[in-house]
Amino acid sequence: MYANSLIGVGIASSLYHSSKGRWRKYLRWADYTMIATATVCLSRALREENPKLLMAASALCLPIQPLMVSVVHTGMMEVAFARRAVKDPELKLVHNVHKMSALLGGAFFVADDLFPDIPYLHAGWHLAAAIGVGACNKLLE
């Protein structure tokens, strides 16, 4: 399911980045929501025992607060990653890379909202997100 959600992120992102005019703000929301959906799917792939109430609350909040859903599930991923890195020292470096990409990605994401006219902030977010996804793939092995 996580792999399919990444395809959804690619589609939503492509639509947003190619849009103009009044549709752009709606497609930006769709992009944010799809990113949050992928985050939920990844946290589910990493932890089978996610509380059902949390998953239901996340599903309800996705259209209203996608950023908050992403933050909560990214935090859950970091905890799962840290636990695995303690047990398997080979994952420590990859965990540190993921942790830093999550922090940088979050900073770029907020900065992009505050300063939308600076184009390289958004590109920085994309780079940090790509590094984070690559690091997560090591954890899913």
Instruction: Tell me the residue range of the domain where 68 lies.
Output: 2-140
pLDDT for the residue 122: 86
Handedness of CA 128, 111, 6, 39 (dihedral sign): positive
Q: What is the mean pLDDT of residues 27-37?
A: 91
Number of structural domains (the chain) is 1
Tokens 């509380």 belong to residue: 51
- Mutual orientation of helices 2-17 and 23-46 as an angle, nearest 10°? 160
Q: Could you give the CA distance from residue 69 to residue 84 in angstroms, rounded to a whole number?
A: 23
Is 98 within 8 Å of 136 (Cβ atoms)?
A: yes
Q: How confident is the model at residue 1 (pLDDT cuts 50, 70, 90)?
A: confident
Cα separations in angstroms, 137 against 15, 98, 119, 133: 25, 10, 28, 6
pLDDT by residue (tens digit) across 100-131? 999 999 999 899 889 988 889 988 988 998 89
